[in-house]
Amino acid sequence: MTGQPTPESHSARIVHGMDRHPLAFRPTRNANESSLAVAGEIDMSTADSFFEQARALVDAGTSVLVLDLGEVTFCDSLGVAALVRIYKYGMAKECRVRLVNLRSHVAHILEISGLDQVFEVEPA
């Protein structure tokens, strides 16, 4: 059994742990406000698609982008970087970015990074 991880081995847990669920998006648009409801895990495999979805709403001409993160179950450093990219892109296009329905783990990440002072954040 050399070279084959057993179900109890550490490497098997790492591989299983990296088997992430895809990110789901639900965009909506009103007069001057667009919303993007996000569900799943924002990580290295989904951060770019998250940015692209948000960018498309900003490019459509909205003045406020609301990111509903109530169903985000995981957010790593690349997820935080995607949020920063969205914020910078929105600001460059004169679009405010507001975060709503933050779960405690996402709110904590923003708090310890100081980004809760940068974004408009509405508590869950």
Residue type, 15: V
How many angstroms separate the CA atoms of 104 and 1, rounded?
43
Q: Six-digit token pair at 41?
A: 């895990």
pLDDT in tens, the chain (124 residues): 444 333 443 332 222 234 556 789 999 998 889 999 999 999 999 999 999 999 999 999 999 999 999 999 999 999 999 999 999 999 999 999 999 999 999 999 999 999 999 999 987 7
Runs of H (alpha helix) within the chain: 10-17, 47-59, 77-92, 104-113
Sorted by where each begins, the domain ranges of the chain are 20-121
Q: Please tell me the predicted confidence (pLDDT) of residue 31.
A: 83
Q: Which CATH number fits domain 20-121: 3.30.750.24, 3.90.1200.10, 3.30.1180.10, 3.40.190.10?
A: 3.30.750.24
pTM comes to: 0.81
Q: Please tell me the predicted confidence (pLDDT) of residue 45.
A: 92
